[in-house]
């Protein structure tokens, strides 16, 4: 680029999905590099229903880096944003602007300021991995803008990890493992895809959004307190401390001895063989142990509420009555239930049970209560509130005389599927930033 006054704006827009961990990540061995104390496995959710969309733009006319989240400008000075921008600028290459043929040299990216606009199509900070989708999308969009090419497989996931640990898993679709790694610099703490989204097509996911409000205890602070105070967390993932002589000899490595790797191996096997019974047992057990760890923290952390526990009861009663798991549940750091049904038929039965026990408020339109894949709603045979009123009590609750049915106890439901990873949105209308002003579109 020359020194003449220039007003061009170059931009890229991408979308990245949320993900839900079935083997949880909770606790870091390195806060700065966001290195976990155990590996984790997640399922990528369909980005059409749960995702972040991010536009990144660069121009010599920009005076500083700026960031808009869900329509509001916020500070981009947070260390996690700065880390991601620094690492991506360091890997930038020469880029040719298609419209003009102008070349942005790799060294120019260090002086070019970036404008970022991002929005989620689901609640932020409510325990649905909004930060994971957001940082995965940011890194992926910057890679497209700056022409970044991975020097080793998973390099972009290691950078996304610096923004939010779980973000590394949102770059890939299907079923993903975040390997904790052992290197002190974190270069081997990356995400790898275990299976593509097309691998297990029968799996259907229904999310009960109990509360879209921001949680009282953030995941970051919650993890810090658990690492400091929870004996149960040490059981889940225990660090073997070297004596000083061994530490000097192997100062470039950290050995993590975990109890949960057995679950990692079992879950990998269940996913690859599409064994829903094992998948469900491990998913529920790990979720329950994660929340037991939160309760074991001092002071205790309460992410689940009464409605969350009722949802657990609904699934457990049904599975017990059926004689084998029909549905698995898991909860991240929030009260919202993510439930996996083994096929579409079971998903329709699950939706019927959810609508029976957790009906919407009388003034709620059914299409606004059940979001996402509407074919599940059609399979459930529910088209209106009248259809909900006519639903019969499931057999497994017949012996519960005082079963509470409180309209509006669940905010809404999302029906979705296993989805693909991050991708570029090529259409011009998808951009969140105005191509002329470089500011957020109104």
Beta strand spans in 175-316 (E): 175-178, 191-195, 204-209, 237-239, 256-258
Predicted confidence at residue 1, as pLDDT, reads: 42
3-state secondary structure of 151: coil
Write the CB contacts of 240 (distance below 8 Å, at least 6 apart in sequence). Answer: 255, 256, 257
Q: What is the 3-state secondary structure (H, E, C) of 96-144?
A: ECCCCCCEECHHHHHCCEEEEEEEECCCCCCCCCHHHHHHHHHHHHHHH
Q: Kindly give the confidence (pLDDT) of every residue in the chain, 442 residues in length, as a single tens digit, with 9 standing for 90 and above.
A: 444 457 899 999 999 999 999 999 988 999 999 999 999 999 999 999 999 999 999 999 999 999 999 999 999 999 999 999 999 999 999 999 988 899 999 999 999 999 999 999 876 545 566 899 999 999 999 999 999 999 999 999 999 999 999 999 999 999 999 999 999 999 999 999 999 999 999 999 999 999 765 555 666 777 778 777 777 776 666 543 323 333 333 333 333 344 678 899 999 999 999 999 999 999 999 999 999 999 889 889 999 999 999 999 999 999 999 999 999 999 998 899 999 999 999 999 999 999 999 999 988 888 889 999 999 999 999 988 889 988 988 989 877 777 878 899 999 999 999 999 999 998 777 999 999 999 999 8
pLDDT of residue 91: 98
CB contact set of 335 (below 8 Å; sequence gap of 6+):
127, 210, 211, 303, 304, 305, 307, 308
CA distance between the termini of the chain: 30
Q: Which three-class secondary structure state does DSSP give residue 421?
A: coil
- For residues 403 and 32, is the Cβ–Cβ distance under 8 A? no
Strands 40-44 and 175-178: antiparallel
Q: For residue 213, what pLDDT is reported?
A: 57
Number of domains forming the structure of the chain = 2
Domain assignment present for residue 251? The answer is no
Tell me: do 138 and 280 sit in the same domain.
no
Shared domain for 177 and 142, answered yes or no, is: yes
**What is the C-alpha to C-alpha distance for residues 166 and 41, in angstroms, rounded to an integer?**
10
Q: What is the pLDDT of residue 377?
A: 93
Phi/psi at 230 (nearest 5 deg)? Answer: -95, 115
Cα 99 to Cα 409: distance, rounded to the nearest angstrom:
52
Antiparallel, parallel or unpaired: β 66-69 and 113-120: parallel
What was the pLDDT predicted at 75?
95
- The position carrying tokens 């096929």 is 343
CA gap 32, 51 in Å, rounded: 26
In whole angstroms, give the CA distance from residue 366 to residue 347.
17
Same domain, 190 and 306: no
- CATH number assigned to the domain comprising residue 161: 3.30.230.10
Report whether 165 contacts 36 (CB < 8 A).
yes
CATH number for the domain spanning 317: value is 3.30.70.890
pTM summary value: 0.89
pLDDT of residue 238: 54
Residue 337 contacts residue 208 (beta carbons within 8 Å): yes
Distance CA 337, CA 208 (A): 5
424 found inside a domain:
no
Token duo for residue 431: 């951009």
431 within a domain of the structure (yes/no) = no
Q: What is the DSSP string of 20-55?
A: EEEE----EEETTTTEESS-EEEEEBPTTTSEEEEE
Q: Are residue 191 and residue 212 in the same domain, yes or no?
A: no
Asked whether residue 245 is domain-assigned, the answer is: no
C-alpha 293/C-alpha 311 separation (Å) is: 20
Q: Is residue 440 part of a domain?
A: no
Residues 220 and 368 both lie in one domain: yes
Asked, for residue 300, whether it belongs to a domain, the answer is yes
Give the range of the structural domain holding residue 401, as residue numbers without chain letter: 205-240+257-417
Task: Note the maximum CA span of the chain.
Answer: 80
Residues sharing a CB contact under 8 Å with residue 207, sequence separation 6 or more, in sequence order? 50, 128, 336, 337, 338, 339, 413, 414, 416
Q: Tell me, yes or no, whether 410 and 286 share the same domain.
A: yes
Whether 396 and 263 map to the same domain: the answer is yes
Cα angle 432-435-437, degrees, rounded to a multiple of 5? 100
pLDDT of residue 214: 57
* Nearest partner of 384 among 405, 394, 370, judged by Cα: 370
3-state secondary structure of 56: strand
Cβ distance 168 to 157 under 8 Å? yes
Does a structural domain hold residue 425? no
Rg for the chain, CA atoms, rounded: 23
- Kindly state whether residues 185 and 224 are assigned to the same domain: no
Q: How far is Cα 368 from Cα 360, in angstroms, rounded to an integer? A: 10
């Amino acid at each position: 680029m020359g020194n003449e006054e220039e007003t061009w704006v170059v931009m890229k827009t991408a979308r990245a999905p949320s993900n839900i961990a079935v083997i949880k990540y909770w606790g870091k061995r390195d806060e700065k590099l966001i290195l976990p104390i155990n590996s984790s496995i997640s399922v990528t959710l369909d980005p059409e229903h749960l995702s972040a969309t991010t536009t990144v733009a660069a121009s010599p006319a920009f005076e500083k880096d700026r960031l808009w989240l869900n329509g509001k400008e916020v500070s981009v000075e947070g260390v996690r944003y700065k880390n991601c921008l620094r690492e991506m600028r360091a890997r930038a290459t020469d880029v040719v602007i298609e419209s003009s043929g102008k070349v942005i040299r790799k060294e120019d990216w260090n002086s070019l300021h970036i404008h970022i606009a991002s929005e989620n199509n689901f609640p932020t900070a409510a325990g649905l991995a909004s930060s994971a989708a957001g940082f995965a999308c940011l890194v992926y969009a910057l890679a497209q803008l700056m022409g970044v090419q991975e020097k080793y497989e998973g390099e972009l996931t290691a950078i996304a990890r610096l923004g939010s640990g779980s973000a590394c898993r949102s770059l890939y679709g299907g079923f993903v493992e975040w390997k904790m790694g052992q290197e002190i610099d974190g270069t081997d703490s990356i995400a790898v895809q275990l299976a593509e989204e097309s691998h297990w097509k029968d799996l259907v996911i229904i999310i009960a959004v109990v509360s879209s409000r921001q949680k009282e205890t953030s995941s970051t602070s919650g993890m810090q307190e658990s690492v400091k105070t929870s004996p149960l967390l040490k059981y889940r993932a225990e660090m073997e401390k070297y004596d000083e002589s061994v530490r000097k000899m192997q100062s470039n490595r950290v050995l993590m001895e975990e109890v949960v790797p057995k679950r990692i191996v079992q879950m990998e096997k269940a996913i690859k063989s599409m064994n829903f019974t094992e998948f469900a047992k491990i998913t529920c057990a790990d979720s329950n142990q994660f929340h037991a760890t939160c309760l074991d923290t001092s002071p205790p952390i309460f992410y689940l509420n009464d409605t969350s526990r009722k949802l657990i009861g609904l699934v457990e009663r049904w599975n017990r009555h059926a004689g084998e798991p029909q549905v698995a549940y898991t909860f991240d750091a929030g009260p919202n239930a993510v439930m996996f049904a083994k096929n579409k038929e079971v998903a329709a039965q699950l939706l019927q049970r959810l609508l029976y026990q957790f009906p919407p408020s009388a003034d709620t339109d059914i299409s606004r209560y059940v979001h996402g894949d509407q074919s599940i709603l059609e399979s459930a045979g529910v088209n209106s509130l009248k259809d909900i009123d006519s639903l019969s009590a499931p057999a497994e609750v017949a012996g519960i005389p005082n079963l509470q049915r409180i309209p509006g106890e669940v905010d809404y439901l999302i029906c979705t599927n296993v989805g693909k990873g991050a991708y570029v949105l090529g259409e011009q209308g998808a951009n969140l930033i105005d191509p002329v002003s470089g500011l957020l579109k109104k």
